[in-house]
Amino acid sequence: MRSKPGQSMITCPKCSYKFDYREAVMDDDWKSIITLLPMFGTHGKLVFEYVEKFGIKPLATKSSKVLRLLRQMGKLFETESFEWRKCNKSLSKSGIVEALEIVVNKNFDVPLENHNYLKKVMVGISEREGKEKSVRAEREMRKREKLSVNRSPLSETEKEEPMTTGEFKARIGQLAGQMKGIDY
């Protein structure tokens, strides 16, 4: 390999092959990128399209930035939360995917500089999911309350009338007859 001016060439001690240090680092970055992509499951392509919105061209020389962005997205997918204006917001994976689709489908005049546009989209989705979750929780609570009221031994409308003395003696007689047939 011919060395270019300003390049730092390294020679392999075993095979004497000369290579550029930056190329070796890029190879390691691309190996890490390839191992990160399965973390996103079926959404790996969508995440990579989002990363491309940062104007990372040529990809071959910007591998460290791609890796950094993918790690940040991986953290988002793992924790399902993000920070917005010093508050932690939670968001489901389907909400993250929805936000990514919105951002990827938008045409930007200039490359993205940070994740703020994605975060703005995620805030709206997070609030919507929070409202839906609270409505579901309230419905479940009302269901449980209704069931617990229906399960009470004696509700207001089902109170038993007091037994007369004759009814009590008859009931005792029935129980005594049932008990004679039981072997201890």
- SS3 call for 11: strand
The residue-averaged pLDDT of 39-65 equals: 83
pLDDT of 107 higher than 70: yes
Would you state the pLDDT for residue 147? 79
Q: Cα–Cα distance between 13 and 4 in angstroms, integer?
A: 21
Question: Dihedral sign, CA of 119, 124, 129, 134?
Answer: positive
pTM of this prediction exceeds 0.85: no
Peptide bond between residue 58 and the one before it cis (omega within 30 degrees of 0): yes
Q: Cα–Cα distance between 163 and 40 in angstroms, integer?
A: 69
Domain-wise residue ranges, the chain: 23-148
Neighbours of 90 (CB within 10 A): 13
